[in-house]
Structure formats: structure tokens, C-alpha cells
């Protein structure tokens, strides 16, 4: 879909400002929202995980624009920790504004640009692997060999590789010089691809220019690079073509 045909209502869904296409669901006693086709495919993936002894659960699914805005602004204000490549806490005071923006972008999307706006993407963990007091962190160590969710992630590696994941892929599977690898982030490709094709640098720039985002001037000055490195590279529809 080209920008010309990206209607106002579609742009509002793309950017987390319209939730009319989503349905409410529960996972491990938490409420979350996904589009209906994504929810149906996800429930098939959950059932498949159960047959292997896992309990695929949702840590995060749809996120509204306002929620992503709050996360971004709290990170900039130091209310939420800013992490380096290894997941260690960074001292904001030691960074200039450009360094701060790019450090934030490794782990957090700008409001309006998160895949979590679409209702097609979920962050997952294995509820069967943990006891009641364990707090899910969504960090690389949990997913790596020897980590608490390693079993689930080796199974996901296998089903994604053999096209038995009901359409789910990992958009942040490897480091492409933008967003840090997030093996826990799954995307329902048949629907997410439609949103990916709507992504347009100029439209996103105009949206952000009108919003009360922290570090706005630095974000806008560097936006072409930000779009190229952090927003566009995760496109799974392009990857499928390249493969």
C-alpha cells in the first residue's frame, strides 16, 4: 500500500490512535488486546506450545500512542532506566542529546512508530517455566541457552524456521544496527506486513512534529537516520522477498 492510499483511519491504526479493530483477550490472568486475525493465529500457536509442555503467555501486546509517549518521555526524564547494549543502566548525565536519543531507540520505539501499535505484535514468555514470584524481565539472558525461557525459545526457533508458527515471525531477530535483538517479540506477518507497507518517513515526521515528545528537536533533526535504522529495517515483508 502506498502512502497515497494510506487513509486517515489506517494511519490512526498504524500509529496507535485507533483501537476499533482490536479485541480484548486474557493471558495468564492479564488483559491484552490484539486484532482478531492475530488473536486467532496466536491461540493456535499457544495450543501448539502446550503440546510441547510450554505455556506461551503475553507480557505485552497492543500499546496505545499515549502509552508509548509516556514510556518515551519517562525514559528521557530518567524516571525509567536507560539501558546500554548489555542491558546495564546508563547515566543520562554523561550523554549529549543525540547520544541519549539513539540509546533510547535501542530499546524503546518513538510514539507512533512502535509495532505494538498495530495489534499484530506480542512480547511472550513461558508461564510454565516460572514460579509465582518470578518477575518477567524480557531480556536476552532469559531467552539464551540456560535462561529460564530457553526451552520455549528453542521451540520457537524451530517452528519459525520450519514455517509451523502460524504466521508469526521475529522482526527483531538479529542486530541490524537499530533496535536491539528481541527474541521475545513476535509479529503476525500476514497482517503486520500491511502496516509495514504504510510506514512513511515524511508522514511519521509530521506526526511527531505535532506531539509533546521529549528531545523532539534532536529526534526531528535526525529523523531520516532514525527511520532508516530503527523503524524500516524490521520489515518482515521485505525480508520474505529477499529470502
Alpha-carbon span 211 to 203, nearest angstrom: 13
Site residues (vs Zn ion, CB under 5 A): 123, 185
Give exposure, 144-164, as e/b (b: 16+ Cβ within 10 Å).
eeebbbbebbebbeebeeeee
Q: How far is the CB of 215 from Zn ion (least distance, A)?
A: 22
In DSSP terms, which residues pair with 32 in a beta bridge?
25
**Between 123 and 142, whose beta carbon lies closer to Zn ion?**
123
The 8 Å CB, 24+ separation contacts for 139-142 are 139/87, 140/87, 140/181, 140/183, 141/87, 142/184
CA distances from 138 to 11, 98, 194, 198, 216 (A): 29, 26, 27, 28, 28
**Between 6 and 195, whose beta carbon lies closer to Zn ion?**
195
**Between 153 and 185, whose beta carbon lies closer to Zn ion?**
185
**Between 170 and 185, whose beta carbon lies closer to Zn ion?**
185
- Judged on CB neighbours under 10 Å (0-12, 13-18, 19+), 174 is exposed
Q: How far is the CB of 155 from Zn ion (least distance, A)?
A: 19
**Between 6 and 189, whose beta carbon lies closer to Zn ion?**
189
**Between 97 and 157, whose beta carbon lies closer to Zn ion?**
157
Is residue 123 within 8 A of residue 185, CB to CB? The reply is yes
Q: How far is the CB of 123 from Zn ion (least distance, A)?
A: 4
Q: How far is the CB of 63 from Zn ion (least distance, A)?
A: 9
Q: How far is the CB of 51 from Zn ion (least distance, A)?
A: 25
Alpha-carbon span 114 to 71, nearest angstrom: 11
The residue sitting closest to Zn ion, measured at its beta carbon, is 185
**Between 175 and 224, whose beta carbon lies closer to Zn ion?**
175
Q: How far is the CB of 54 from Zn ion (least distance, A)?
A: 19
Alpha-carbon span 50 to 44, nearest angstrom: 10
Alpha-carbon span 94 to 158, nearest angstrom: 42
Q: How far is the CB of 184 from Zn ion (least distance, A)?
A: 7
Pick from 140, 241, 129: nearest CA to 184: 140
Amino acid at each position: 500500500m502506498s502512502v497515497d492510499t494510506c487513509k486517515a483511519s489506517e494511519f490512526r491504526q498504524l500509529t496507535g490512535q485507533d483501537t476499533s479493530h482490536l479485541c480484548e483477550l486474557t493471558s495468564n490472568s492479564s488483559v491484552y488486546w490484539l486484532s482478531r486475525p492475530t488473536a486467532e493465529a496466536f491461540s493456535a500457536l499457544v495450543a501448539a506450545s502446550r503440546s510441547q509442555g510450554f505455556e506461551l503467555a503475553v507480557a505485552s501486546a497492543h500499546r496505545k500512542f499515549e502509552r508509548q509517549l509516556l514510556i518515551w518521555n519517562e525514559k528521557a526524564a530518567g524516571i525509567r532506566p536507560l539501558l546500554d547494549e548489555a542491558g546495564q543502566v546508563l547515566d543520562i548525565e554523561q550523554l549529549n542529546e543525540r547520544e541519549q536519543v539513539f540509546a533510547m531507540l535501542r530499546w524503546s520505539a518513538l510514539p507512533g512508530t512502535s509495532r505494538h501499535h498495530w495489534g499484530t505484535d506480542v512480547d511472550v514468555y513461558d508461564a510454565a517455566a516460572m514460579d509465582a514470584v518470578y518477575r518477567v524481565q524480557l531480556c536476552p539472558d532469559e531467552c539464551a541457552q540456560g535462561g529460564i525461557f530457553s526451552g520455549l525459545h528453542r521451540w520457537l526457533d524451530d517452528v519459525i524456521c520450519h514455517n509451523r508458527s502460524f504466521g508469526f515471525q521475529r522482526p527483531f531477530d538479529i542486530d541490524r544496527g537499530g533496535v536491539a535483538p528481541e527474541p521475545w517479540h513476535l509479529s503476525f506477518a500476514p497482517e503486520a506486513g500491511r502496516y509495514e507497507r504504510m510506514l512513511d518517513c515524511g508522514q511519521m515526521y509530521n506526526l511527531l512534529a505535532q506531539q509533546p515528545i521529549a528531545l523532539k528537536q534532536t529526534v526531528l533533526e535526525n529523523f531520516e537516520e532514525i527511520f532508516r535504522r530503527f523503524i524500516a529495517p524490521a520489515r518482515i515483508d521485505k525480508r520474505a522477498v529477499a529470502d
